[in-house]
Structure formats: structure tokens, C-alpha cells
Amino acid sequence: MPIEYKFVELSIVTDETIQDTVNTFVRAGWHWDGIRFVTTDSSRRPQMAFVSFIREVPDGERPKAEAKAEAKADTKPGPRLVTD
């Protein structure tokens, strides 16, 4: 089965925001995959966090991102930069 990924960006990093995010997406059928913290040299406290989730897509069903890309390809393209 294909796997679909979801990444959630947290700009406020606390135990409560992480807990709420994980609980919300796990209840929605996602499996927690990991957390990546963004830090700076001047502070030990994370500035941001990216929480990742995965789930298997049932056979015959395409991942949402793939369906979105196909729908976007069917629309008129936006402006393009043309150089000589």
C-alpha cells in the first residue's frame, strides 16, 4: 500500500501544543512518525517544530497530494517568466 505523509509546523513549541497536535492527528487516523526541532545557537529553546505523521492509503485510493497535483495540472497554468 502507498504511504501518505503529513507535516505540521508548530511556531509555538510547548508540551501542550505538541500534545494537542499529536492527539488531534492520531485520532484522525494518522500515525505519529517524529518531531524535528528548529533551534538557534543563542537559545536552547526550540523556535519551531515540525511534527510528522504517516498513514497507509488503501488500495485503489490515491494519496491526496497526488490527486491535488493531477487536478492542478488540468487547470490553466499561471504566469511564467519568459527569457530571451
Helix, strand or coil, per DSSP, at residue 60: coil
* pLDDT in the model for residue 7: 96
* pLDDT in the model for residue 81: 67
pLDDT of 84 strictly over 70: no
* pLDDT tens profile 18-66: 999 999 999 999 999 999 999 999 988 999 999 999 999 887 776 666 6
**Could you count the other beta carbons within 10 Å of the beta carbon of residue 44?**
7
Are residues 18 and 53 in contact, defined by beta-carbon separation less than 8 angstroms?
Answer: no
Are residues 6 and 25 in contact, defined by beta-carbon separation less than 8 angstroms?
Answer: yes
Q: Which residues lie below 8 Å from residue 41, measured CB to CB, with a gap of 6+?
A: none
* pLDDT in the model for residue 57: 86
**H helices, E strands: number in the chain:** 2, 3
Are residues 26 and 41 in contact, defined by beta-carbon separation less than 8 angstroms?
Answer: no
* pLDDT tens profile 68-77: 666 666 666 6
